[in-house]
Structure 1
Amino acid sequence: MKIVDVCGFYTPFGGGIRTYIEQKLRLAEQLGHDITVLAPGVRAECRVVSSSARIEFLPSPHFLLDRKYFAFADEKAVHCALDRLKPDLIEASSPWRSANYVASYPGPVPRALIMHSDPLSAHAYRWFERVAEPTSVDRAFDWFWRRLRTYGQQFDLVVSANRHLSERLITGGVANVATVPMGVEQGLFSPAHRDEDLRRDLLASCALGPDATLLIAAGRLATEKRVPMLVDAATRAGRKRPIALAIFGEGRTLPDVIRAIAGNPHVRVFAPVRDRQQFARLLASADALLHGCEAETFGMVAAEATASGLRVVAPLAGGVSDFARLTPGLGFTPLDAVDASRAILQLPVHGQAAPWTAEVRTMAEHLGQLFDHYHDLASQGASKAA
């Protein structure tokens, strides 16, 4: 099958979407499909991954809110690329302009919308969290729900990676919703990569000895990731027993994170680790993952941490809640630093914890299920967007 992914939020500088896209491209040949990712970029160019996988960049302006990203602005250019590529199925990767361009493409080509983002949870609920409940925000943002309901009619499939988001979409009247949980890169993440010397070095960087509990947080330092709240929670828990928090990431909220740390020597910020083998070793060498975002569509780093043998302390909402629930007591009320602190203190003391692992599906399994859906759609040979 020839698949074209119109991906409005790909950047080579990192992030969960890049990780997902690059794994999908690497697996394309193994799964028997030809995949082209159309992405906005600084210039027209094609990066070939294999004979059956590539990224084509279309010249586009910078995304105003983050200059590491670009934004599609030329519907005709996207449609011309689709004409040239002649896909059997078209994906859109976000419920914004790229989805509009895919929905408006003429012709009977099946198409799917992948909900790689949950804008209401990530943004609108957060903007009004001190003054309004999510149900009230939903009513105020009914224009966005109308948009999603329209996509449910224009797209043959609306894919969500977690049950929580799928339930919200279905309750909101969105049609053609399917839950297809994501997975981790096969053979990369494992408890076998644990390195006690690395763990000891990280704890020493946080001014603590090897008997302390080492928490790790990783990802973009963005407002919706709630990293200052995690710092607060770790600091509170650290008053009861030795707790270190090593944060790996970069982003626009770094000054807020530094202010939240307020000189606490047991909380440190490190540069992101982009080498995947090194990151796998880093995860396996910690004692638990600490995650703060209640708006994840899946929670890739939580899946990778689980596959690495880590327990996950995370909010009981969004995609990461599926991983927090694997160990009772480690889920906490979203936005609540006090309850997050309580959850941290449920972790076993170092040296007293039995080995812990949980089965996590692989990205090949995720894509296999997704492409089974696509094969069914292509076989039907019809699209509501025609």
Structure 2
Amino acid sequence: MRIVDVNEFYSPTGGGVRTYLDRKMAVLAEMGHELIVIAPGRADAVEDRPGGGRIHWVKAPRLPFDRSYGLFWDAEPVTRLLDMLDPDVVETSSPWRPAWIVGNWQGRALKVFFAHNDNMAAYAARWLEGVADTPRVERWFAWYTRYMGRFLARFDRFVTNGAELARRHERRGLNVDAAMPLGIERGHFSPALRDERLRAALLDQCGLPDSATLLLGVGRHHPEKRWPTVIDAVERVGGSAPVGLVLLGDGVDREVLTRRVADSPHIRLFRPVHDRPRFARIMASADALVHGSDAEPFGLVALEAVASGLPLIVPDEGGAADIARPPFAETYRARDAVSCAGAIRRLLRRDRAILRAAARHASGQVMTDRDHAAMLVDYYREAIEGRRALAA
């Protein structure tokens, strides 16, 4: 099977989408399938991936606020590639130009809109926070749901990356054909990678002894990640308990966050760790993952933490909440620093050995990226066969 993903979020400089797609290319190649990505680049180019798969870069303008990403505008270069590649399945996940370019393309492929994010939650609800509650904001922005409905009518299937995003769209009146939860490259992550010396070194960076609690946050420095909520919560707890926080990430809010933690003696910001083995060791060596984003529809970082045997502190909305289970997690009211502080305190009061044993048990049950790829291919195959049967 040949799958082509027309993807505006695939960046030459990295990021979560690139990590997901590069790994998906390699896994599908091992399974005897092919994934090709069409992405906006600074120039037209073709790039083969060592593990299988290929990138077709199409020259496109850069986003003005983040030059790492491009924006498709002209349909012709993309549809010409689709005609040449003649895929069995074509995916896209951007609701802007790619949705219309792919939706209007007249090829034989099964056309799939694969939603990986929720613009309503990530932008509209966040921008109007404090002005109106989420249900009211969604009523005000019902035009966006109607807009999605117009381009979705041109697709054969509407798929989401998990149950949380499917529920959101269905509440708004859209029909979701399937929820396909993502998996992780579980071979990288394991509780066995825990390194007490590394843990002590990170706590020392936070100005704390190894008897303290080390919290880890991972993600872009972006308003939707809600790191100020997490920082505020840790500072509240830090007044009465020895707690350190290490944040791994970078992004548009880096300067804002740097200023925010300047007077916080036990909170440190570090650049992202792209070396996967080292990142996995850091993950396994912390005492809990603390997460702020309520807009993410799927908790990929939370899954990696669980695979590392790491307990969770996450908001009660968003994809991470679907992963959290009481034996190894605490949840708090989304966007509420006081509630987040309460969740951290509850975790600190729990028996650490029992908590870690529950997290270690959960680590063996995390879905892998191979599971995800196999499920996706089976779904596409059934959809193609069903369409052929209807046409016969």
Counterpart contact for 1:250–1:271, Cα < 8 Å: yes
**Could you tell me how far 1:51 is from its partner in structure 2?**
7.8
In 2 relative to 1, CA 252–383 (structure 1 residues): closer, same or farther, beyond 3 Å? farther
RMSD: 1.9
Map 1:166-245 → 2, pairs under 5 A = 166-245=166-245
**Could you tell me how far 1:157 is from its partner in structure 2?**
1.8
| CA distance in 2: counterparts of 1:186 and 1:262, whole angstroms | 35
2:378 alignment partner in structure 1: 372
1:362 alignment partner in structure 2: 368
Map 1:1-386 → 2, pairs under 5 A = 1-50=1-50, 52-327=52-327, 330-348=330-348, 352-354=352-354, 355=357, 356-357=359-360, 358=362, 359-381=365-387
| CA distance in 2: counterparts of 1:23 and 1:109, whole angstroms | 23
**Could you tell me how far 1:162 is from its partner in structure 2?**
2.6
**Could you tell me how far 1:46 is from its partner in structure 2?**
1.5
| CA distance in 2: counterparts of 1:325 and 1:76, whole angstroms | 48
Structure with a larger share of its residues in helix = 2
**Could you tell me how far 1:283 is from its partner in structure 2?**
0.4
- The letter for the 1-side match of 2:165 is L
| CA distance in 1: counterparts of 2:14 and 2:314, whole angstroms | 22
| CA distance in 2: counterparts of 1:326 and 1:83, whole angstroms | 50
Same amino acid, percent of matched pairs: 40
Q: Deviations over 1:275-327 (max 9, x none)?
A: 11111111001011111000112121111011000111111111111123354
Partner SS state of residue 247, structure 1: strand
Q: Which runs of 5+ in 2 are unaligned?
A: none
- The letter for the 1-side match of 2:371 is E
| CA distance in 2: counterparts of 1:280 and 1:116, whole angstroms | 24
In 2 relative to 1, CA 142–62 (structure 1 residues): closer, same or farther, beyond 3 Å? same
In 2 relative to 1, CA 267–152 (structure 1 residues): closer, same or farther, beyond 3 Å? same
| CA distance in 2: counterparts of 1:87 and 1:28, whole angstroms | 14
Name which of structure 1's ranges 33-42 and 175-184 shifts more when overlaid on structure 2. Answer: 175-184
Counterpart contact for 1:156–1:176, Cα < 8 Å: no
**Could you tell me how far 1:223 is from its partner in structure 2?**
0.7
**Could you tell me how far 1:110 is from its partner in structure 2?**
1.0
| CA distance in 1: counterparts of 2:28 and 2:312, whole angstroms | 30
| CA distance in 1: counterparts of 2:123 and 2:55, whole angstroms | 29
Counterpart contact for 2:230–2:337, Cα < 8 Å: yes
- The letter for the 2-side match of 1:41 is G
Counterpart contact for 1:110–1:382, Cα < 8 Å: no
**Could you tell me how far 1:350 is from its partner in structure 2?**
9.6
Aligned residues: 384
TM-score, structure 2 normalization: 0.93
Where relative contact order (Cα < 8 A, 6+ residues apart) is larger, the structure is 1
Q: Which runs of 5+ in 1 are unaligned?
A: none
Counterpart contact for 2:26–2:52, Cα < 8 Å: no
Partner SS state of residue 139, structure 1: helix
Counterpart contact for 1:152–1:175, Cα < 8 Å: no
Counterpart contact for 1:169–1:177, Cα < 8 Å: no
Partner SS state of residue 375, structure 1: helix
